[in-house]
């Protein structure tokens, strides 16, 4: 057992096993318990925590032939979008030094981008798989809510939390889903097989928008959608965070980093009425979203409105911008895939997001694979 990074890039791994088994190399976000290996949840409070039981998602991957090469750094308690961790260091972006790796699964994305793993496991509560995938130029998939087990994973906001795969291509994510979700069956489709609704392009910066538009036209049947954003669900999210951290935070306030401490304090200050109003709004939002997307097989949007921002950054200020196009799919539970779609500002990758109603995971991944092939030929 080793708690020191042993990679060429400081800040990616928090612990690595003494010996790595044979198999597809897998980086595991340090939010998942791993028996016999330090699991910190990104917090100094757990810097010597060694679980006795491995999280179910990790067990499933290991049983399918994946070999854990290490626990990856993350935003503290997975509550952030940059993976600038005050306790264990900032996760670097191997693709773009000087830029954030994204969060909260930043270490998992960075391990892929640096060639330190062939596959990675992350979590996503407001975009935490897809944001770092976009920043680091890799692929990340947030499955339908509840499809992949969260057992043995430290929660953030339980009804928003998802576990899911990250890889260098869509096929890598689809293969992981076969292990992670019992009964999951991959599908295949052509770009002409689906009708795609395109939304939120106007919210992206010009070069990102251009790349996402170029991805959209690869599909033969598209139309514009007026999809609502998840503007009034924050208090529902925050109320769940408050419930998770209430006792721990009150006892160990000073052990929380400033960024997460500020957010948890705001969560704990939330009134019951604010939470209940937001939870009710979330239910209405799900209905409006479903109605707005009626008649299409897939939704296509930018993953992020921009390329990876410079580091260091003010996470509290940039957070709403980075989660604006990803949080809707946590609020609704829809499966959503992020994949790179060409160079934008400063030569950094733009990312396109594909999503569909709950249960359509195979369709999303099949469409992503078809789009990936078309973009590689373009």
Provide block-wise average pLDDT over 10 residues at a time, the chain (378 residues): 46 93 96 98 98 98 98 98 97 96 98 98 98 98 98 98 98 98 96 97 98 98 98 97 98 98 98 98 98 98 98 98 98 98 97 98 98 91
Residues 6+ apart with CB under 8 A from 98: 310, 311
Tokens of 144: 């339908």
What pLDDT was estimated at residue 378?
A: 64
User: Cα 184–145–16 angle (5° rounding)?
Assistant: 80
> Residue written as tokens 């909260």?
104
| Pairing between β-strand 13-15 and β-strand 298-302 as defined by DSSP bridges | unpaired
E strand map for 8-138: 13-15, 24-29, 66-72, 84-85, 89-90, 119-124
C-alpha–C-alpha distance, residues 197 and 193, integer Å: 13
**Half-sphere exposure of 144 toward its Cβ, with a 13 Å CA cutoff?**
13
Task: Give me 104's structure tokens.
Answer: 């909260």
Q: Which of 29, 71, 142, 263 is catalytic?
A: 29
Spot the catalytic one: 43, 104, 324, 351: 104
Beta strands in the chain (DSSP E): 13-15, 24-29, 66-72, 84-85, 89-90, 119-124, 139-142, 162-167, 195-198, 221-224, 298-302, 336-343, 349-355
Active-site entry in 43, 83, 128, 278: 128
* Pairwise CA distance, residues 165 & 337, whole Å: 10
Alpha-carbon span 99 to 91, nearest angstrom: 10
Instruction: Identify whether 108 is a catalytic site residue.
Output: no
- Residue 258 gets the label, from left (phi > 0), alpha (psi -120 to 50) or beta, of alpha
Dihedrals phi, psi of 176, to nearest 5 degrees: -65, -35
Between the CA atoms of 189, 190, 191 and 196, what dihedral angle is there, to the nearest 10 degrees?
-30
Q: Is 29 a catalytic residue?
A: yes
Q: What is the pLDDT of residue 8?
A: 46
Is 104 assigned a catalytic role?
Answer: yes
**Number of Cβ within a 10 Å radius of residue 162:** 24
């Amino acid at each position: 057992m080793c708690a020191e990074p042993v990679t060429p890039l400081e800040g990616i791994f928090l612990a690595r096993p003494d010996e790595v088994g044979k198999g597809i190399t897998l980086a595991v976000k340090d939010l998942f318990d791993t028996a016999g290996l330090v699991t910190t949840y990104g917090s100094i409070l757990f810097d010597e925590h060694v679980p006795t039981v491995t999280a179910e998602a990790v067990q499933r991957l290991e049983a399918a032939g994946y070999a854990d090469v290490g626990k990856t750094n993350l935003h503290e308690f997975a509550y952030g979008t940059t993976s600038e961790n005050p306790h264990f260091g900032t996760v670097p972006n191997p693709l773009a030094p000087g830029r954030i790796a994204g969060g909260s699964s930043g270490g998992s994305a960075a391990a892929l981008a640096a060639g330190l793993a062939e596959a990675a496991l992350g979590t996503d509560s407001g975009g935490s798989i897809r944001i770092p995938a976009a920043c680091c130029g890799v692929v990340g998939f947030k499955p339908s809510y509840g499809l992949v087990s969260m057992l043995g994973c430290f929660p953030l906001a339980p009804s928003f939390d998802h576990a899911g795969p990250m890889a260098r291509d869509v096929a890598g994510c689809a293969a992981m889903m076969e292990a992670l979700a019992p009964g999951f069956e991959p599908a295949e489709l052509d770009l002409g097989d689906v009708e795609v609704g395109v939304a939120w392009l106007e919210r992206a910066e010009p070069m990102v928008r251009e790349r996402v538009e170029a991805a959209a036209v690869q599909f033969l049947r598209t139309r514009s959608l007026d999809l609502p954003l998840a503007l009034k669900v924050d208090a529902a999210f925050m109320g769940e965070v408050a419930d998770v951290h209430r006792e721990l935070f009150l006892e160990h306030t000073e052990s929380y980093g400033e960024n997460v401490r500020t957010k948890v304090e705001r969560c704990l200050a939330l009134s019951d009425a604010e939470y209940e109003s937001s939870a009710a709004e979330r239910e209405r939002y799900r209905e409006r979203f479903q109605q707005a997307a009626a008649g299409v097989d897939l939704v296509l949007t930018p993953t992020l409105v921009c390329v990876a921002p410079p580091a260091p950054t003010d996470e509290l200020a940039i957070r709403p911008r980075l989660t604006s196009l990803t949080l809707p799919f946590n609020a609704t539970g829809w499966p959503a895939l992020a994949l790179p779609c060409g160079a934008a500002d400063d030569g950094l990758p733009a990312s396109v997001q594909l999503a569909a109603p709950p249960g359509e995971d195979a369709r999303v991944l099949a469409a992503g694979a078809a789009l990936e092939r078309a973009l590689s030929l373009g």
